[in-house]
Amino acid sequence: MDLKTSDRVTAPLRSTASNGLKIVIVGGFGVGKTTMVRSVSEIRPLSTEEVMTRAGVGIDETAGVRDKTTTTVAFDFGRISLNDQMVLYLFGAPGQQRFWFLWDRLFSGTLGAVVLVDTRRVEDSWYAIDRLEHHGMPFIVARNDFGGPAYRLEDIRKALDLSDDVPLIDCDARERESSKKVLITLVNHLYALSTAQESAR
């Protein structure tokens, strides 16, 4: 294990930290979510969970969970201190159905999302992409290379039915530089969307 990373496990935030930000990494089982969080986080990834009781179910979501009294979703996260004030929290979130019932409660105000794709199981990502679009959450797609068939990115774009304006890149979640590039690509994309929106106003 990287010594520099483990040294920082318990490091508290700066006393000036005041603005927490969120980015969510979604994808199917074993696609590398935790690995990506770990490779860029200044703390060892932590895990926690959220429950939603029946009483807390939003009106428009009730239909999907009417047979259950509670929904429990576990997720892990890491963090990056960006400057004296801003702290970015990275969440690795499972893409399964019940997770999306909790999206608004956990991830409203999220800057954007990364969809991790394993080319051996591209279809695992369809649902996540569909849900992100439904929530109006901007995202990029990163192909985690597990040494599967050497599809071209263009083929993957087609398989995902992804529009041309959504960035699609290769990554290796185990590599810090590569994961960093994924986050930078996302934030650049958000920046482009945001400035376009400002000038359209």
Q: Which residues bind ligand GTP (CB under 6 A)?
A: 27, 29-35, 92, 94, 144-147, 172-174
Q: Which is nearer to another protein, 89 or 146 (CB)?
A: 89
Judged by DSSP in three states, 85 sits in coil
What letter does residue 135 receive in the DSSP assignment?
T
Write down how long the chain is: 201
Among ligand GTP, Mg ion, another protein, none, what binds residue 136 when CB lies within 5 to 8 Å by partner kind? another protein
CB of 120 to another protein, least distance (A): 29
Q: What is the DSSP string of 86-126?
A: EEEEEEEEE-SHHHHHTHHHHHTT--EEEEEEEGGGGGGGH
Q: Give the interface size with another protein as a residue count (CB under 8 A).
A: 53
Among another protein, Mg ion, ligand GTP, none, what binds residue 46 when CB lies within 5 to 8 Å by partner kind? another protein
Q: What's the start-to-end Cα distance of the chain, in Å?
A: 49
CB of 143 to Mg ion, least distance (A): 18
Judged by DSSP in three states, 54 sits in helix
Contact 101, 34 (CB under 8 A): no
Is residue 86 close enough to count as binding another protein by CB under 8 A?
yes
**Pairing between strand 70-81 and 139-144?**
unpaired
Q: Which is nearer to Mg ion, 34 or 41 (CB)?
A: 34
CA distances to 114, 132, 168, 197 from 194, in Å: 17, 17, 19, 5
Is residue 188 close enough to count as binding another protein by CB under 8 A?
yes
Among another protein, Mg ion, ligand GTP, none, what binds residue 13 when CB lies within 5 to 8 Å by partner kind? another protein
Chain positions contacting another protein, by CB under 8 A = 12-15, 17-22, 40, 46-52, 55-56, 70, 72, 74, 77, 79-83, 86-89, 105-106, 108-109, 111, 136-138, 180, 183-184, 187-188, 190-191, 193-195, 197-198
